[in-house]
Amino acid sequence: MEKCFCGGKIEIQNVEYKLVRGKRTIIIKDVPAYVCQKCGAVYYDTEVLVRLLKIKISTNIFQQNSL
């Protein structure tokens, strides 16, 4: 993937991914993402998405245990 749908250039950047769990917001830092330099659209690798999904699941379990 080299270009965004808008035609802008995409570069790899480390971004902060915000995970909202009710009143809590978990910020995952240094998430590698493809960011469009023109419109700011963010794309993630499948591998990264899987990792984020695993974190989401683990935070769900953590919340259930703590309640």
Q: Which residues bind Zn ion (CB under 5 A)?
A: 4, 6, 8, 36, 38-39, 41
Cα torsion angle, 13, 14, 15, 20, sign: positive
Q: Minimum distance from CB of 48 to Zn ion (Å)?
A: 19
Query: Of the two residues 4 and 31, which places its CB atom closer to Zn ion in the complex?
Result: 4
Query: Of the two residues 3 and 21, which places its CB atom closer to Zn ion in the complex?
Result: 3
Residue whose structure tokens are 């965004």:
4
Query: Of the two residues 26 and 39, which places its CB atom closer to Zn ion in the complex?
Result: 39
Integer angstrom CA distances of residue 36 from 2, 17, 19, 48, 57: 9, 16, 21, 17, 28
Q: Minimum distance from CB of 42 to Zn ion (Å)?
A: 10
